[in-house]
């Protein structure tokens, strides 16, 4: 009886997550993967204190990329953007933490790398807007849509972060 209760509780505890915790979708684009930057990009989010909830290397199907960028379908660079994103594997991730959507965008830097401050990923590693290394959701609602597009529910890991009490007051 006690064992049953404990096992029910442990399943509950495993899935327990802060309902206010914000999540964002971050992707290392094919140029970032090819240039060996996966480790550095993960390191920047880890060092900030954010929690990795999901991550996978995947060669994204064109349909997924067209859907992901559907709001840009009328832009002249849309076809080139989809081709670039389909040109090799992407490292897709979900990160969690306070204000991670907006802060994640700051960590990435401005869309055009020439406008990105040094110290940001795009400011440090790239030059052309069409080869800007990484993607980050631009709003909480966008993040929810993008996470659902790229990940199945059972790929998202709900767990307590050991460092939590040293990161949040």
Query: Least distance to ligand ADP from the beta carbon of 70, Å?
Result: 11
- What's the N-to-C CA distance of the chain in angstroms? 38
Query: Least distance to ligand ADP from the beta carbon of 98, Å?
Result: 21
Is 17 annotated for ligand binding? no
CB atoms within 10 A of CB 159: 14
Q: Which of 50, 54, 141 is nearest to 100 (CA)?
A: 50
Q: Which of 40, 66, 102, 138 binds ligand ADP (CB under 6 A)?
A: 138
Q: Which of 24, 103, 120, 132 binds ligand ADP (CB under 6 A)?
A: 132
Is 68 an annotated catalytic residue?
no
Show Cβ contacts of residue 65 under 8 Å, excluding neighbours closer than 6 positions.
82, 85, 86
CA gap 102, 95 in Å, rounded: 12
* Binding of ligand ADP by 155 (CB under 6 A): no
Contacting ligand ADP within 39-98 (CB under 6 A): 72, 77, 81
SS3 state at 156 = coil
* Binding of ligand ADP by 103 (CB under 6 A): no
Binding residues for ligand ADP, per CB under 6 A? 72, 77, 81, 111, 129-130, 132, 135, 138
| Active-site residue list | 135
């Amino acid at each position: 009886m006690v064992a049953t209760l404990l096992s029910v509780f442990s399943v509950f505890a495993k899935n327990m997550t802060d309902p206010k915790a914000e999540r964002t979708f971050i992707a290392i684009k094919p140029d970032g993967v090819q240039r060996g930057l996966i480790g550095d990009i993960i390191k920047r989010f880890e060092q900030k204190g954010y929690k990795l909830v999901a991550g996978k290397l995947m060669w994204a199907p064109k349909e997924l990329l067209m859907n992901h960028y559907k709001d840009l379908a009328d832009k002249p660079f849309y076809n080139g953007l989809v081709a670039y994103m389909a040109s090799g594997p992407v490292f897709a991730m979900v990160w969690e933490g306070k204000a991670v959507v907006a802060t994640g965008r700051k960590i990435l830097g401005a869309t055009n790398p020439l406008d990105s401050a040094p110290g940001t990923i795009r400011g440090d590693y790239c030059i052309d807007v069409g080869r800007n290394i990484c993607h980050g959701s631009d709003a909480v609602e966008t993040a929810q849509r993008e996470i659902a597009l790229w990940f199945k529910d059972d790929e998202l890991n709900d767990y307590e972060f050991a460092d939590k009490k040293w990161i949040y007051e």
